[in-house]
Chain A
Amino acid sequence: MLTLLRLSMRQLGGKRRVALILLLSILPIALAVVVSIAEGEDESFDSDFINILLDGLMVGGILPIVTMAVATAAFGNELEDQTLSYIVLKPIPRWHIALPKLLASIIIVGPLIIASGAIAAWIGMGADPRISAAVGLALFAGVTTYSSIFSWAGLMTTRALAFAIVYVFLWEGLISSFINGVDYLSVRGYTLAIMHGIDKDGLGELSERVIEFPAAVGGAVAVSVVFFYLTVRRLRNMDVP
């Protein structure tokens, strides 16, 4: 499995892709610095910071965008380059192929996104380690869940990016704002609920619009496992070009 993990890391960790992740990871930190200087005395600052920067920009934008750019390519590039046959005709179980691809996406995206969110929260939310930890852990859950979904999408269709964009911006962004129950089937909903569940006091602003903490954790785990299983099943059933 390590052989495939190394290969996947090399495939996904191209300079351009890492540069994009770095750039997008720096953005929340830079914004946190700017707004904390500009609005430090404003009473509504914490609320705005959580709503706009953490929820809107980080969880609703950068997290899914960066993860989709990496995870859809985990299998998508292999299919496009027609190199998947070098892997699937080896005497290894299918899940030994799917797991390194998933782990590579998480390893490449996770540290930068988690660090970005945690540092931005540290700067913007009064250097509270509990809030930073809550943001970091929730982002880890988000990266893992999105990676599982988008890895599967990359194996299912050559238009995985389009699928990912529709899911993120239409389902999670638009529809979830009108229908409350959508958050039970939304990675963004899980991420925010986990964030809030870990530090209810520091992130109380989220309390009225997140689902229950156990439901969020259970949902994130279930979605990750189900899409991982679907990826393995797809590897078994598909015609490899």
Chain B
Amino acid sequence: MTTQSNGVIDVADVSKWYGSVVAVNEVSFQVNPGITALLGPNGAGKTTMLHLIAGLAKCSDGQITTLGEPVRNNPSLYQRVGFMPEHESVYGFYTGRQLVEFSAKLYGLSPLGEAVDRAIQIVGMEDAQNRTMDGYSRGMRQRMRLAAAIVHDPQVMILDEPLNGTDPRQRIEFQEVMERLASQGRTILISSHILEEVETMAGRILLMVSGKLAASGDFRAIRAKLDEQAYQVRIVVDEPRRMASAIVSLDDVDSVSFDDDGSIVVLSRKVATIQTTLPRMAQENGIRLTRMEPIDESLESLFEYIVER
């Protein structure tokens, strides 16, 4: 079955629920050649989304196609797609090279040697290829798993948190590898919960929050979009009236009000700014700030995500 699609990966109105828990909620986007990052805090639904795209999980609703073909139960498509799962479980008794060879055999590659050598070289593991997977550091294991995922030189790569456990130097090397592969026309979708990991290499970012696609575009466009939204933030201080007086003088604040319990509710479109400004302001005025939290629960994760930066 071939369906009409516009992107290399086409996600159309996709939802996934487990019983009453909605993991992915009516998400639509397209992924084209180049590097695209799927970002979001832990629990945002990124891994579920990637599992749906890879064909590991079945959509509760909606449709996903890759290279114009449905992704579920389509073994012939898997020849052109490489998937690296987030979890680090591997066949620990294999050496790194054996893991890559195992993958190459299942992809039906022949002869094996050249493809295996190339994949191991790409991830820079030539010197340690004959050690067992159990004997590797986390970063080394990640790299060998990546080699196993790309040994068949796939057109589409789906990598779930590939930078977990890597050190800064390995991240730079990984970025170079991904950029080189992307420049050859491949479509690479990488997930991460840390923006800094991917913002320099990803041409496009998809931001997921609470199972929904909160924003998509390049990094600056997403930040601009976030800044357009008004957020309600609750602040608890020991001197609410004096703090409120100081807050209303800020340009980035749309309104200030008091809740019944005496806490201050601040409405702002510049949540990233106020999260740094308010604690400083409290400190400068000798006011004790005991709590600062978003009121709108649906935006809580997003808020935390921004604040964590």
Contact = CB atoms under 8 A, between A and B. Distances in A.
A91 B55 CA distance: 12
Nearest to B83: A89
Contact of B148 (A11, A86, A236): A86
Contacts of B91: 7, 10-11, 83, 86
Contacts, number: 61
Contact of A90 (B58, B73, B93, B107): B107
Contact of B56 (A90, A91, A239): A239
B78 A90 contact: yes
27 contacts: A3-B105, A3-B106, A10-B91, A10-B93, A11-B91, A82-B87, A82-B89, A83-B90, A85-B54, A85-B85, A86-B85, A86-B91, A86-B102, A88-B56, A89-B83, A90-B106, A91-B75, A91-B76, A91-B77, A91-B78, A91-B79, A91-B108, A94-B73, A236-B73, A239-B51, A239-B57, A240-B57
B78 A89 contact: yes
B81 interface: yes
Nearest to B56: A240
Interface in A190-241: 236-237, 239-241
B192 interface: no
B155 interface: no
A10 B102 CA distance: 13
A83 B214 CA distance: 31
Nearest to A87: B106
Contacts of A7: 91, 102
A63 B171 CA distance: 52
Contact of B89 (A83, A92, A240): A83
Nearest to A240: B56
Interface string B98-140: 0000110111100000000000000000000000000000000
A85 B103 CA distance: 11
Interface in A1-46: 3-4, 7, 10-11
Interface in A82-111: 82-83, 85-94
B88 to A, nearest CB: 9
Interface string B66-85: 00000001011111010101
Interface residues of B, number: 27
Contacts of A239: 51, 56-58
Interface string A57-101: 000000000000000000000000111011111111110000000
Contacts of A82: 85, 87, 89
B58 A237 contact: yes
Query: In the complex, which of the residues B76, B79, B102 has the most CB atoms of chain A within 10 Å of its own CB atom?
Result: B102
A86 B57 contact: no
A97 to B, nearest CB: 10
Contacts of B89: 81-83
B107 to A, nearest CB: 6
Contacts of A83: 89-91
Contacts of B93: 10
A90 B148 CA distance: 11
Contacts of B54: 85, 89
Query: In the complex, which of the residues A10, A11, A85 has the most CB atoms of chain B within 10 Å of its own CB atom?
Result: A85
Nearest to A83: B89
Contacts of A87: 106
B56 A85 contact: yes
A49 B248 CA distance: 94
A89 B76 CA distance: 10
Given A7-B91, A236-B73, A239-B51, A89 B148 contact: no
Contacts of A10: 91, 93
B51 A91 contact: no
Query: In the complex, which of the residues B51, B76, B89, B105 has the most CB atoms of chain A within 10 Å of its own CB atom?
Result: B89
A88 to B, nearest CB: 7
Contacts of B107: 90-91
A12 to B, nearest CB: 12
B176 to A, nearest CB: 26
CB-based closest 4 A-B pairs: A90-B106, A239-B57, A91-B79, A240-B56
Nearest to B18: A239
Contacts of B81: 89
A4 B57 CA distance: 22
